[in-house]
Each structure stands twice: as C-alpha cells, then as structure tokens.
Chain A
Amino acid sequence: MIRHLLISSAFVLASTVTFVATANAQDASANGPVADMCVFSEPTIGQLAVNDTSNPTVLSSSLAGGTAAQVDITCNGNATLTVSPPIQTEGKTTTFKSLTAKATSKDLVGLNVDSNSTKPGNININTTEDTASGTIEVNMTADNDGKTISPGQYTFTVTLSSTP
C-alpha cells in the first residue's frame, strides 16, 4: 500500500508540474502570401544562318552555323510560358511566308513549344517540388517560300513571357 501511495503521489506530482508549465502557454501568429512569379535572366542572343549562301531562302538558327538564343528562367510556382512568333526588327522589309519559333529546355522537363504568326505557343511550367529553374533555348526560322532573301542584316525577336 505504501508503495502504491508513493507511485500514485509521484504521478500526481508529475501531472501537476506538466500542467502548470503548459497552462500559461499562448500562441501568436503571423500570416502572409508569397506571390507566383517567374524571373528571366538577360538573354543570350542567337545566330541565324542561311540555307544556301548563293540563293538564301531560309534564315534559321537551327541550320548549320546558327545558334539558338538562350534565356534562364526561375519560377517559384506554377506558371504558363508564352512564346511569341518571331518579329522582324532589322533588315529589308520582307513578308516571309512563315515565321516560326520553337522553345525547348533540357532542364525543364516537357518544355517543348512551337509558335507561329497565327498561334503563339503556350506551355505550363509546373513547380511540383520546389522552384523550377532552367535554361530555355529558342530557335527561330524565317522562310521566304523559295524566294531569294535580299542581302542585308536581319534580326528577329521572340518574346517569352510568363503568367502569373
């Protein structure tokens, strides 16, 4: 009985001490949002090449001698990437038969999207685990439909944007 008493007393004491320690605890909280956003690095300009130096009818970064434009992107949430068709910003005014762009990424799985003058490309960037980050390569092609492109310096711009 004495042992019972001692064990029981110890239990009462333990529970009492625990209770006093938590009886005076109080929570205080703070809340706030982190907005969805993507940031782009300064892009690396690509290089266009011609399909035939004696009779150029196609300008493209995908041809031998050309290089894709590159830009890094980092997103902290899910986003939609929009890729515009190429817009001519330099060179003899030419109405190309087709202006197309293709954005791909080795880092961002599934990022492979085409755009043309009638349909800009849209693709989702999904951030499932953490922030999504990677390099996007953009190739662009201006096809003059078999007609010779006048000599000169040509520049095209493809605009990448993300929402939200």
Chain B
Amino acid sequence: MIRRFFLFSAFILTANLTIIKSAASEPLCTFSQAAPGQLVTQGGTLPKKLITLASAGGSPTKIDATCSQSANISVSAPIQVAGPEFTPVSAVATVTIPSGSSTKNGDAPLSLPAGTTPLTIDFAIDRGRSLRAGNYSYTVKFTVVP
C-alpha cells in the first residue's frame, strides 16, 4: 500500500512537471517587451485625470502579441503600482489592434489572429478630484484564452 502510494505520488509529480513544461514552452501567445506608456494629466489647473492619449501629449503603451493560433485577449482595469494611493471614480484600459477593433476592461475579449499583432493600450484614470503630486505608475494584466 505504502509503495503504491509513493509510486502514485511520483506519477503526480511527473505529470505536473510535464504539464508545466509543455505550458511554459508553448504558450498560446507570447508578448514582446512592453515600452511603458507616458501618462499625462488632464482636467483643470489642478489635474484630476491621468491619461495616455497622444492628443493630450501622452503616449499609449505598445506591445506585440505573437499567437500560435487565434486567441481571445481580455484586459484588466489599470492597477496602481506607484504614486499616492487613491480610489479612482473610473479606471479604464483600452486595447486596440490595427484593424480598429478594441476591448476594454469588463468588455468581451478581443479576437487576435494567429501571428504577431501590435497592441496599443490606452490608460484613463479619473480621480474625480485633484490628484496629489507624485510619480504615478499603472499596470494592466492580459488574459489569453483559445
């Protein structure tokens, strides 16, 4: 009984390792190194919003997704990782692909074709009142499913 149990444990360990290895070596999509976007302020003399819109002087985050087959990508809301903490009244991340299709956090996933697709990610975070001075940083997470 004990020996069978050990044997079985060994099997589970092996199975796990195998799965991890195959998942790590063949992910559905890989991403290039992201060049971080530039957040700029908007809204009044004492600004209330942080945005990456190029028309406001910011620059969106650019990242390439290379997928082995068509995939569906969804994006999280912007997550604050630096700067004076606050709870925004709205925080939106929008992912746009060259075809013009886009998705934002909470929306249906965006369909990516097999191959490399450049993604443009725009951030818009609204505090609803004046932002404290500081250096702010936000991140988003992508989730990819077949």
Q: Do A and B come from one complex?
A: yes
A interface residue numbers (CB < 8 A to B): 1, 4-5, 8, 11-12, 15-16, 19-21, 23-37, 39, 74, 76-78, 127, 130-131
Contact in complex: A4, B5 (CB < 8 Å): yes
Contact in complex: B141, A31 (CB < 8 Å): no
Q: How far is the CA of A143 from the CA of B44 in the complex (A)?
A: 41
List, in ascending order, chain B residues with CB within 8 A of A28's CB: 34, 36-37, 61, 63, 119, 121, 139-140, 142
Q: How far is the CA of A35 from the CA of B50 in the complex (A)?
A: 12
A128 → B minimal CB distance (Å): 10
Known: A23-B27, A26-B31. A32 touches B41 (CB 8 A): yes
The contact size tier of chain B is 35 or more
Known: A1-B4, A20-B23. A15 touches B141 (CB 8 A): no
Please list 10 pairs of residues, one from A and one from B, whose beta carbons are closer than 8 Å in the complex, sorted by A's number: A1-B4, A19-B20, A19-B23, A29-B137, A30-B60, A30-B61, A32-B41, A33-B136, A37-B133, A39-B46
* Further pairs besides A30-B121, A37-B45: 14, Cβ < 8 Å: A5-B8, A8-B8, A11-B12, A12-B12, A12-B15, A20-B23, A24-B29, A31-B135, A31-B137, A32-B38, A32-B135, A32-B136, A76-B131, A77-B133
Q: Which 8 pairs across A and B sit closest by C-beta, in order of nearness?
A: A32-B39, A77-B133, A30-B37, A24-B144, A36-B133, A26-B31, A29-B139, A28-B34
Contact in complex: A31, B143 (CB < 8 Å): no
Contact in complex: B141, A25 (CB < 8 Å): yes
Contact in complex: B132, A130 (CB < 8 Å): yes
Known: A1-B4, A12-B12, A12-B16. A21 touches B143 (CB 8 A): yes
Partner of B139, one of A12, A20, A27, A131: A27
Q: How far is the CA of A33 from the CA of B57 in the complex (A)?
A: 13
Partner of A29, one of B16, B20, B61, B134: B61
B interface residue numbers (CB < 8 A to A): 1, 4-5, 8-9, 12, 15-16, 19-20, 23-24, 27-29, 31, 34, 36-41, 45-47, 50, 52, 58, 60-61, 63, 71, 78, 81-83, 119, 121, 123, 129-145
Tell me the interface secondary structure of chain A in the complex: mixed
Q: How far is the CA of A76 from the CA of B47 in the complex (A)?
A: 9
Known: A25-B143, A28-B34. A76 touches B132 (CB 8 A): yes
Known: A12-B15, A19-B19. A31 touches B47 (CB 8 A): no
Contact in complex: B144, A30 (CB < 8 Å): no
Contact in complex: B47, A34 (CB < 8 Å): yes
B37 → A minimal CB distance (Å): 3
List, in ascending order, chain A residues with CB within 8 A of B81's CB: 29
List, in ascending order, chain B residues with CB within 8 A of A23's CB: 23-24, 27
List, in ascending order, chain A residues with CB within 8 A of B132's CB: 34, 76-77, 127, 130-131
Contact in complex: A31, B8 (CB < 8 Å): no
Contact in complex: A31, B36 (CB < 8 Å): yes
